[in-house]
Amino acid sequence: MLQKRLQERIDKKKQTLDDLRPLPAAALQRLQDEILIEWTYHSNAIEGNTLTLQETRLILETGLTIGGKSLREHFEVTNHRSAIHFVQGLVEDHQPLTPVVVRQIHHLVLAHIDDVSAGQYRRLPVRIAGSALTPPDAWEIERLMLEWGDWLGGESRLLHPVARAALAHHRLVAIHPFIDGNGRTARLAMNLLLMQEGYPPTIIQQNNRGQYYRVLAQADSHQDAALVNFVGRAVERSLTLYLDACTPRTAPPAAKEQWISMREAADGTPYSQEYLSLLARTGRLEAVKRGRNWMTTRRAVEEYQASVG
């Protein structure tokens, strides 16, 4: 289900990260602080929150309120931080993800926003904006969530951890068990599963919102590969970030290991900058996105070229 080259890179980077454990405390704390802010910003922005990344940072770090922004948007930020802390506690205590835990996560997501619905399965029909999928009727939710929990504790364990987390996230969104907050809750649940397997938190970025919704729609039609590989590329980004921050540096990286633009990487190869960017977007070439631009290494391009002869 995961594209072969992408899975190989994920597995290799995960093993390298495991070999570095215990990770340097100072570097790990800085990473966790930054990821909490970015995870909160991007997950909320996907759902329509208009606070910027810098405004989100100010709320979380100083407690300031932002003029012109609604109280709900402020609560979405502080609630998401509480939910992340709860998820981190579950990982530390080795607590499994269950339907009850999903409701606890959702209660934190909607606290002070809709206390009546927080943590409660919906009792009303809903539609998912922009989706052709009609969520199940309210009276089916209890049964479907129990089945989701059984799948999670049973046959899903045969899957690669990244595929398992991605599909658990999609199945939860498809059930749409709550009147609001389903997306944020599902992404928190996905990261709980990944973190339990030793992966760093993975962020679905707001600028990938359109692609995110497209691959979810494909999964609605039982075409799961696009979603799994979309999540896989996000997992690889997080692994790269952790490795860059936690790997001891006693000398400058070799020239072939330095991150360079796609324009630079294309020099001296049979590939154009646009083609290398396409390979990066589809996970066939090891790359990271810095801002809006893809970066890769000469080693990665050489490995891709060798793999296709």
155, 163, 247, 167: which is closest to 197 by C-alpha? 163
Encode 71-83 in three state secondary structure.
HHHHHHHHHHHHH
Q: Which residues contact 110 (CB under 8 A, 6 or more apart)?
A: 79, 117, 118, 119, 178, 180, 181
SS3 261: strand
Catalytic position from the list 42, 74, 80, 176 = 176
Q: State which H helix or E strand residue 306 sits in.
A: helix 298-307
Q: What is the DSSP letter of 180?
A: S
Euclidean distance between CA atoms 138 and 141, whole angstroms: 6
User: Rounded to whole angstroms, how far apart are CA atoms 151 and 158?
Assistant: 11
Whether 176 sits among the annotated catalytic residues: the reply is yes
Buried b (16+ CB within 10 A) or exposed e, 212-249: bbebbbbbbeeebebbbbbbbbbbbbbbbbbeeebeee
Q: Please list, in sequence order, all residues whose beta carbon lies within 8 angstroms of the beta carbon of residue 109, skipping any fewer than 6 positions away.
A: 79, 80, 83, 118, 181, 184, 185, 188
In three-state secondary structure terms, 268 is coil
For 303, phi then psi, to 5°, come to -65, -40
What does each C-alpha distance from 132 to 94, 95, 110, 218, 225 come to in angstroms?
37, 35, 26, 11, 19
Q: Which residues are catalytic?
A: 176
